[in-house]
């Protein structure tokens, strides 16, 4: 309020004018405060622009700054008061850096979460690092509710609340290492005149012949830190779930939780990979083989079999190795697939974000139509790509033979995604239509382990798995000689406590499902 004493020294006519101006200003201020900024247009433009710092793994793609600028222009034109900024963190520093950012309260508004990564949503929630999004989605995310299916929203709930926005960029039963897909060099298999194998023994036999026929040293490309689902399909106990990255827990279809590493099936894994290692069918340096080296081998088609989604590399292979024919199939093909994930990738909001609505407003805009979605993922049409039909595009390459893209697995939606015009028909079909294979759902679908109550034991067990179990699992060290001591170390690290905590939380989850 104005000081009444000072008003006595101002002419009356001027006082009246000043009071009118103040009343008009108050009236205008009130109208702005009354707008909620949900919709595009004039209301959004009346609000302060909120930062959206999106933390993601990897390194920036060519032309990223250019495309982000275009995205921000369209956000403003559409009345969405958000400004996007991408904050890339190198893969080798991802866990350490993101944990530090969350624990120190560094300012950012959205983080990508890989449910099959080392830190899934449940672990973040357990440490209080994320905030629930239900009210924000109700207020700012009407388009999110339309495009993301109910089953994904149910799986995004922890303790009854939604903590992330799922990226439904593929059917989770599509070809992938998690589902047991086995990629292979079809041309080499045809060259030796053999059909695709059905058993583990047949796979080894065909791999030996394919390696000989290749004319150079090719290997079976596989990850050391992923559960070999392709092999598990051949076991009598199939289907059963093994936590894909941690490889500690086994859950059968009746919901029984047990120690995976102490199972008969894990011993079979170790024996199988021991054969591959001794026959030099996997790289002899498999324990130190870098992800970048494996990725390069994939893009060159330098493999016999692969568990890394061979068709994802099909376009690069066609360019780098035109004589190579790539295909995918399953061992024990007559058996069902096991779906244990509703989604593998999701985006969450840190608990420390002062404006969490920025993330929901951006995602709501992104998924509201294919133009917004494709601008962010593929760039500006005519500049960065040319649409060819409904689902394919010609991605324009610059003078350095590079093109812009944002990794669709982080944030894409299957309803809008575009694929390179050179994409093989079988891969395009796999990505855009639901699979015909029979599918069984694992009891763990929607369950997330909160590792906070066992944080110390869990970290110690994972460390022991990496140092002592992986060499055995990959066949570098024989099971019979090295496993007893490795198990003793795991027990000392807290393996039993980890399994017991999993059992307790899973029992609570199952009880809640029945209510």
14 pLDDT higher than 80: no
Name the most confidently modeled range: 214-223, 255-264, 286-295: 255-264
Q: Which of 316, 273, 259, 314 is nearest to 470 (CA)?
A: 273
pLDDT at 274: 98
Q: In terms of pLDDT, which residue wins out, 44 or 323? A: 323
For residue 460, give both structure tokens.
């110690």
Omega within 30 of 0 (cis) for the link into 239: yes
Q: Mean pLDDT throughout 295-310?
A: 90
Does the reported pTM lie above 0.95?
A: no
DSSP-H helix ranges across 35-180: 42-45, 64-77, 94-104, 121-126, 134-140, 142-147, 150-155
**pLDDT tens, residue by residue, 250-284:** 999 999 999 999 999 999 999 999 999 999 999 99
CB 212 within 8 A of CB 197: no
| Whole-angstrom distance, CA of residue 3 vs CA of residue 379 | 56
Asked if residue 2 has pLDDT above 70, the reply is no
* pLDDT > 50? residue 37: no
How far apart CA 282 and CA 273 sit, in angstroms, is 8
- Identify the H or E element spanning 110: strand 110-114
Contact 102, 350 (CB under 8 A): yes
Judged against a pLDDT cut of 60, whether residue 477 lies above it is answered with: yes
Instruction: Say whether pLDDT at 502 is over 80.
Output: yes
Of the candidates 220, 371, 198, 350, the residue with the CA atom closest to the CA atom of residue 283: 220
Structure confidence at residue 46 (pLDDT)? 58
Reported as a pLDDT band with limits 50, 70 and 90, residue 175 is low
Average pLDDT estimate for 83-111: 95
**Residue 430: what pLDDT?**
76
For range 322-336, the mean pLDDT = 93
d(CA 298, CA 313): 6
SS (H, E, C) 359-400: HHHHHHHHCCCHHHHHHHHHCCECCCEEEECCCEEEECCCCC
Q: Which residue has the higher pLDDT, 12 or 195?
A: 195
pLDDT at 47 exceeding the cut of 90:
no
Q: Give the chain's domains with CATH numbers.
A: 47-169+342-416 (3.40.190.10), 177-340 (3.40.190.10)
Percent of the chain with pLDDT over 70: 90
Output the CA angle 211-212-216, nearest 5 degrees.
Answer: 70
Q: Would you say 307 and 223 are in contact if contact means Cβ atoms under 8 Å apart?
A: yes
Beta bridge partners of 338: 440
Geometric angle at alpha carbon 254, from 332 and 233, rounded to 5° = 15
Q: How far apart are CA 253 and CA 243, in angstroms?
A: 14
Average pLDDT, the chain: 88
């Amino acid at each position: 309020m104005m000081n009444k004493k000072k008003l006595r020294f101002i002419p009356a006519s001027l006082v009246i004018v000043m009071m009118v101006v103040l009343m008009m200003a108050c009236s205008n201020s009130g109208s702005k405060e009354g707008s909620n900024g949900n919709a595009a247009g004039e209301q959004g433009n009346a609000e302060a622009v909120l930062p959206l710092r999106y933390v993601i793994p990897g390194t920036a793609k060519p032309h990223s700054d250019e495309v982000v600028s275009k995205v921000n222009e369209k956000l403003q034109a559409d009345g969405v008061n958000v400004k996007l900024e991408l904050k890339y963190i190198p893969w080798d520093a991802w866990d350490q850096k993101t944990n530090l950012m969350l624990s120190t309260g560094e300012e950012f508004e959205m983080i990508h979460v890989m449910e099959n990564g080392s830190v899934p949503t449940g672990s973040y929630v357990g440490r209080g690092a994320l905030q629930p999004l239900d009210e924000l989605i109700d207020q700012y995310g009407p388009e999110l509710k339309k495009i993301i299916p109910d089953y994904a929203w149910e799986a995004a709930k922890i303790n009854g609340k939604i903590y992330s926005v799922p990226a439904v960029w593929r059917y989770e039963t599509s070809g992938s290492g998690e589902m047991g897909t086995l990629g292979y060099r079809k041309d080499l298999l045809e060259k030796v005149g053999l059909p695709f194998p059905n058993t583990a023994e047949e796979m080894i036999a065909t791999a030996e012949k394919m390696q000989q026929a290749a004319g150079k040293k090719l290997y079976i490309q596989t990850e050391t830190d992923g559960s070999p689902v392709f092999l598990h399909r051949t076991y009598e106990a199939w289907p059963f779930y093994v936590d894909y990255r941690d490889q500690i827990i086994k859950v059968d279809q009746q919901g029984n939780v047990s120690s995976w590493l102490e199972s008969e099936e894990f011993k079979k894994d170790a024996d199988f990979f021991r054969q591959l290692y001794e026959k030099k069918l996997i790289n002899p340096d498999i324990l130190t083989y870098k992800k970048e080296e494996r990725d390069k081998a994939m893009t060159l088609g330098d493999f016999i079999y692969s568990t890394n989604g061979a068709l994802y590399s099909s376009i690069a292979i066609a360019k780098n190795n035109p004589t190579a024919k790539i295909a995918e199939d399953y061992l024990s093909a007559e058996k069902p697939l096991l779906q244990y994930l509703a989604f593998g990738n999701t985006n969450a909001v840190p608990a420390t974000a002062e404006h969490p609505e920025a993330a929901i407003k951006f995602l709501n805009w992104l998924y509201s139509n294919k133009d917004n979605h494709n601008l962010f993922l593929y760039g500006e049409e005519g500049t960065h790509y040319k649409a060819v039909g409904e689902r394919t595009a010609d991605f324009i390459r610059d003078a350095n033979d590079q093109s812009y893209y944002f990794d669709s697995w982080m944030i894409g939606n299957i309803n809008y995604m575009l694929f390179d015009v050179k994409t093989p028909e079988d891969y395009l079909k796999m990505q855009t239509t639901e699979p015909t294979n029979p599918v069984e759902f694992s009891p763990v679908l929607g369950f997330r382990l909160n590792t906070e109550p066992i944080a110390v034991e869990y970290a110690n067990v994972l460390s022991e798995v990496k140092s002592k179990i992986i060499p055995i699992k990959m066949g570098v060290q024989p099971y019979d000689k090295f496993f007893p001591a490795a198990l003793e170390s795991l027990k000392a690290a807290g393996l039993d406590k980890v399994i017991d905590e999993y059992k307790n939380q899973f029992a609570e989850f199952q009880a809640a499902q029945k209510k």
